[in-house]
Structure 1
Amino acid sequence: MKRAYYSNNIQDFLIEPDSSILGELTANHSNRTLEELQINAWRKQITILKDQLRDFGGQIYFEFAIPRMGKRVDNIVIISSVAFIIEFKVGDGGYEKHAIEQVIDYTIDLKNFHEGSHKIRLIPILVATNATSVTEQNSQIVDHETAAKSNQNDLAETLKQYLNDDGESINIEYWENSIYKPTPTIVEAAQALYKGHNVKEITRSDSGTINLSKTAECINSAIDKSKSNGTKSICFVTGVPGAGKTLAGLNIAVERMKTDEDEHAVFLSGNGPLVDVLREALTRDEVLTAKENGEKLSKKQAAIKANAFIQNIHHFRDDNLLSDKAPIEKVVVFDEAQRAWTNHQVSSFMKRKKGVEDFNKSEPEFLIDVMNRHSDWCTIVCLIGGGQEINTGEAGLEEWVSSLKNHFPDWEIHYSNSVLESDNYLKSEDSRQWLVGNGISEIELHLAVSVRSFRSEQLSNFIHELLNVKIDNSQRIYSQIKKSYPIVLSRNLEKSKEWLRLKAKGTERIGLIGSSGARRLRPLGIDVKNEISAPSWFLNNSQDIRSSYFLEEVATEFDIQGLEIDWACVAWGGNFYMNNTDWKYQNFKGTKWQNINKEIDKEYLKNTYRVLLTRARQGMVIFVPESSDLDHTRPKEFYDRTYEYLKEIGIKEIE
């Protein structure tokens, strides 16, 4: 894939006619109705760069793709041992914060995800054409904390400040042909897929993508087979935390939407915050894209389309309670299907909230039953997270298999062998045996590589061993990941917040997260009962006090499951603490703590901390509070042993 609209060595660029360069840029631009504004901006860039690059040799690129972000950087100029990432702001205005953050984001993206950029010097430069000169530049831009600033007349001087003869010249051919291995957030991925990007363009081109592409092929094959044979099928997609199950589901829904609109493919999730965040992100992005293309689209119009594509599973359930007709959708993707409710939970809910007295089905049974109303074909795709049930009444994969076995034996079932090998998925031997005898095993339906934390695929393994109190294994894995994935400890909340702020560059998102049961974090200003607006917390910028950046509002496991941020402060509560050699599980009721004795409730609480400890893409600080002599609900034993355990594993305290 051609990454830049135009590239050339600098000396040839200087003598090439402007009209020829402009023609190539225009021909490669995907939007055929190019605005005059964009063409004029290119004209201005060409003029400035020809003037300022006269004394340099190297390579120049215009509109270089940054696929993870779905954006293009104005220019990359490679001279000797340095790659300059240049963003132009043509016209009035100075060196604005959002523009500086933008060019830093591009630079970090290349550093992290473009193989040829991992080990070379990258310098972000903001060229505000009419701004005043910046005489004092930071000649040592470390970790891209800031960008160099230049106006249209000072660019040559700015470049010279960062050039020296010490470094080895960049191999242009190697750099150009290096693979790009992005790992987008689920929000970025949803936006890119919705816009029409292929999953291969926005995800890593190593094992992670191969897995996702093969998973898509396998599911598409099952859907096409059902369609041509007039049969009903169900596919169970499993995977480690952060392996891209939601991304795989969104990809299938988008692909089927493109294949045949009459299939009315839909992505359903019971995760309210995820639905709200994705819908809002797609709506905002579509309005912005329309504006950039010179088109008018109201937020309301954009929202109608986004809301039809991503729906809350409970609304889908309730709509189909009112009718016994087959739904319009032929392909439904159920995200986090392990969280569908048991018979007892859904019957109790129906009686209390909906006034339905005789509802006697589990949620999996009812949802399959709804799709079974189709007289010809349909396909259900279930995305299943192992060990991810975090709430009372969540049924897990067991209930889906039981419903098929007892009520829908004619459905064709596709599953991965991984569900047989781990008790995270199926606890009952009967269910395993029945599945083996009645299903089709597909290796491609298990996503084994974590792509959330691009810095460490081993993170989910580390957290698994930590929570299972396997100290030797935890120490071994931690020693392997600590350089690429920073994890630190603190007993001081302000120091923890400061660590996050210093770590994040550009618009990398930071946030404070904690367990919904950690009620006694409230004296420290962390109130887990205070509900957040998930779209504001996850999507709004660093100037908005409701955003995660302000580190004021805490997101719980229910807010953040299925989503992620770059850097997290995980606030550890007294509801889950180390007691000698194992965990102690507690609930806070009224004015005191109560022991949790049921094994299933203990499992939910452990899974809560599993979710919290696997949300950060780049690193985290674990904040374990100090105890209080005045507060009987915060004694030393709730915190000190946990802190010592984490230190024993090897996690270091913040200085």
Structure 2
Amino acid sequence: MSTKSYYAARVEEFLLLSTEEIVGQLAIRVGSEHSGNEGNQIRAWRTQIGLLKEALTDPQCSDWGILLELPLLRLGRRIDTVILIGDCIACIEFKIGSASFGSGDIDQAVDYALCLRDFHAASHNRTIIPILCADKAALQRDRTQIEIIEGVSQCLLVNGLQLARAIELIAEEAEPNQIDWRAYDAATYSPTPDIVTAARGLYSGHTVKEIGRSDAAAESLERTAARLKAIADDARIHGKKVICFVTGEPGSGKTLLGLDMVFSGSTGRDANEPAALLSGNRPLVFVLQAAIAEDARKRLGVKAPEAKRQSQQALQTLLGYLKDHAAPDSDPPENIIVFDEAQRAWDADTGLKLLGRAKSEPELFLEIMGRLPWACLVCLVGPGQEINRGEGGLMLWGEALAKSQEWTAHISEIALRERKGLIGLLDIANGADVAINLEPELHLQTNLRAHRNHLHGSWVAALLEGDIESAASIAAEMESPPALVTRDLAEMKEWLSLRRRGEQRVGLLASSGATRLIADGIPASPRSDDLGAVVHWFLKPNGDFRSSNSLETPLSEFVCQGLEIDYAGLCWGNDLIWENRNWLPRKMRAPNWQVLKKEDAKQYRVNTYRVLLTRARAGTVIYVPNGDPGDPTRKPSDFEGVFETLQSAGCSVI
């Protein structure tokens, strides 16, 4: 019988089969994946299988399931061994020949367990225990109990002789409701890679299908990717100029699609066709550039300067692109351009300030790309994420298209008819000669980022609209609260620290307008032009004080938009308070708070918290300060209103 794992069976059958027979089955399955280290791998398997046979001799083990080389990501990651012990899952990483437990190896073992918990269908709501076995290590302290946090225990560290004791300890914790090994092996694995991991994978030649999930959400994403490429292919073949608007809530996979469009398949750089992803979000561009360059250097042996050059060709800043091609005779080399966060396009007044031309960003793009014999411009659009003055939303794109006769717009009907600042294109198009093709595939409805709470985006929208009753109703449908709240900063950091496991990242976030958080010991965020600090925050490993994991410095909306972490600690400032049954946006005009009156300024402040509340992939905890009765800029009543409202909306106190 064929299995997903390279070997899977009941433990009783595993014990009856010889080590050489099992090694043979593993070698056949691996086949051409070996690249010069066949001997080392086979020797490691022999030792590993021998240790497992010695550790599973107790009769109680007979009905358990055992899986060897269980594939996780489609990028080649495999778990050495999974043992199904009653209703518990032991996830074992072997380091054969090792006499020590490296921090990286511990993180790897824990990360495998977390991936099973979050993305493997048969592992949901199970207890998972990661084990790192360094067979030559010195004897470790014998643990007397297993500590579980959100379904996954701490990593058990054992040498070859102690493996049996670790398995025995798990058996003592397990209930007798035995997991069926066949069903477990056949279960779907639906990973949701973070944007940095996705960029690395796509740049190395994989497709959105290969690095993504295997469920309905993935099928929708793949349909959108295929439709975009078909539109681009048609434009190339027939010499057309097309603009595609891909819409969806924060975390629905828009940037992932843009990266896929540029890096893989029948279009973009993988087809030897000039293409680039552009963003006005410089921190996003620099973080992804740094991640891709580091990956190319390590994986392909590309020298650092060349790796950096390659990443900069594929990922560029919008302003740099516009400056490079401002002259009428400066035709761009890329026929395919992906414009990330196109709702943030700036207006003609901003164009005059930045480039000396009183044209909006959409007008300039259509003008520049209009010089080419064919062009495909893909605009990625997220609702409610305009956070800066001069950001005109898609109304500006409608105005630019109304002035051009050579472009065809592809957009979903949902986005076309949206009225809350998302589009405005229909109003412009009525009475203007604009060619519009309706494309239902271009609207993404599933939240991929908040993979453990797919209703999270709807909850955030209801909360920030002030519809607390609806927010509470949405929260009631969730398996877990949309967020946790606390009045204790140390408690929040402790909660985050406990989830700083494996390769998961935690970090602090705070509004750029929450200037009085400094009184609670929370420093200001790095500025959006302090790109080195932002890159370090997202990419440096645990133990480096510059890393997000150190929980020392928060990021503001300006430097975290478009990026993500696993667990976020949002420090809620009193620049957005609850008053008279609605949110009251404010700005600090030292020495006092000033209520924002202009509608766009009020919306920018609300959108700030929309960005911050949608950065986490696995969970958010919100710290609401207590305030100080002696400080008029930190009134306790302001914070109390926020704290009570968040609870009413469905948040739980830690």
TM-score, structure 2 normalization? 0.91
Q: Deviations over 1:345-368 (max 9, x none)?
A: 121122xxxxx4xx1211111112
Corresponding position of 1:353: none
Q: Distance in 2 between matches of 1:586 and 1:399?
A: 27
- Pair 566,11 (structure 1): closer, same or farther in 2 beyond 3 Å: same
- Pair 87,589 (structure 1): closer, same or farther in 2 beyond 3 Å: same
Note the C-alpha offset of 1:88.
1.4
Q: Distance in 1 between matches of 2:602 and 2:49?
A: 64
Note the C-alpha offset of 1:277.
1.2
Q: Secondary structure of the equivalent of 2:69?
A: strand
Note the C-alpha offset of 1:648.
2.7
Note the C-alpha offset of 1:592.
3.0
Which amino acid in 1 is paired with 2:337?
A: V
Q: Would you say the 8 A contact 1:5–1:28 is kept in 2?
A: no
Corresponding position of 1:248: 257
The 5 A counterparts of 1:116-515 are 116-142=122-148, 143-163=151-171, 166-255=175-264, 256=266, 261-290=271-300, 296-322=301-327, 324-350=329-355, 356=356, 359-374=357-372, 376-406=373-403, 408-424=404-420, 425-427=422-424, 430-431=427-428, 433=430, 438-481=435-478, 483-485=479-481, 487-515=483-511
- Pair 472,22 (structure 1): closer, same or farther in 2 beyond 3 Å: closer
Q: Deviations over 1:72-114 (max 9, x none)?
A: 2222234554432111123343233332222111011111111
Q: Distance in 2 between matches of 1:120 and 1:630?
A: 49
Note the C-alpha offset of 1:207.
2.2
- Pair 423,240 (structure 1): closer, same or farther in 2 beyond 3 Å: same
Which amino acid in 2 is paired with 1:148?
A: L
- Pair 207,569 (structure 1): closer, same or farther in 2 beyond 3 Å: same
- Pair 141,223 (structure 1): closer, same or farther in 2 beyond 3 Å: same
Corresponding position of 1:293: none
- Structure 1 unpaired stretches of 5+: 291-295, 351-355
Note the C-alpha offset of 1:555.
0.3
Corresponding position of 1:617: 617
Q: Secondary structure of the equivalent of 2:502?
A: coil
Greater mean deviation of Cα atoms: 193-202 or 97-106: 193-202
Q: Would you say the 8 A contact 2:408–2:434 is kept in 1?
A: no
Q: Would you say the 8 A contact 1:340–1:364 is kept in 2?
A: yes
Q: CA RMSD in A?
A: 2.6
Greater mean deviation of Cα atoms: 427-436 or 363-372: 427-436
Q: Secondary structure of the equivalent of 1:67?
A: coil
Is 1:45 the counterpart of 2:48? The answer is: yes
Q: Deviations over 1:210-246 (max 9, x none)?
A: 1111101111111111111111111110001211111
Corresponding position of 1:109: 115
Note the C-alpha offset of 1:196.
2.8
Greater mean deviation of Cα atoms: 180-189 or 82-91: 82-91
Corresponding position of 1:84: 90
Greater mean deviation of Cα atoms: 591-600 or 632-641: 632-641
Which amino acid in 2 is paired with 1:298?
A: K
Which amino acid in 2 is paired with 1:301?
A: E
Corresponding position of 2:516: 520
Q: Distance in 2 between matches of 1:50 and 1:287?
A: 40
Note the C-alpha offset of 1:145.
3.5
- Pair 433,180 (structure 1): closer, same or farther in 2 beyond 3 Å: farther
Q: Secondary structure of the equivalent of 1:123?
A: strand
Q: Secondary structure of the equivalent of 2:18?
A: helix
Partner residue of 1:96 out of 95, 102, 109: 102
Corresponding position of 1:651: 651
Which amino acid in 1 is paired with 2:143?
A: Q
Corresponding position of 1:72: 78
Note the C-alpha offset of 1:556.
0.4
Matched length: 638
Q: Would you say the 8 A contact 1:325–1:373 is kept in 2?
A: no
Q: Distance in 2 between matches of 1:35 and 1:307?
A: 37
Which amino acid in 2 is paired with 1:150?
A: V
Greater mean deviation of Cα atoms: 495-504 or 438-447: 495-504
Q: Distance in 2 between matches of 1:384 and 1:428?
A: 13
Note the C-alpha offset of 1:344.
0.5
Q: Secondary structure of the equivalent of 1:162?
A: helix
Which amino acid in 2 is paired with 1:45?
A: Q
Q: Distance in 1 between matches of 2:471 and 2:549?
A: 30
Q: Deviations over 1:102-140 (max 9, x none)?
A: 211101111111111114443211101111223512443
- Pair 378,179 (structure 1): closer, same or farther in 2 beyond 3 Å: same
Note the C-alpha offset of 1:390.
0.8
- Pair 265,15 (structure 1): closer, same or farther in 2 beyond 3 Å: same
Identity of aligned residues (%): 35
Q: Secondary structure of the equivalent of 1:136?
A: coil
Q: Distance in 2 between matches of 1:542 and 1:250?
A: 27
Note the C-alpha offset of 1:19.
6.2
Greater mean deviation of Cα atoms: 109-118 or 622-631: 622-631
- Pair 319,36 (structure 1): closer, same or farther in 2 beyond 3 Å: farther
- Pair 412,33 (structure 1): closer, same or farther in 2 beyond 3 Å: farther
Note the C-alpha offset of 1:469.
1.1
Q: Deviations over 1:34-59 (max 9, x none)?
A: 47655554454344445545565455
Q: Would you say the 8 A contact 1:123–1:141 is kept in 2?
A: no
Greater mean deviation of Cα atoms: 180-189 or 44-53: 44-53
Corresponding position of 2:35: 32
Which amino acid in 1 is paired with 2:368?
A: V
Is 1:632 the counterpart of 2:614? The answer is: no
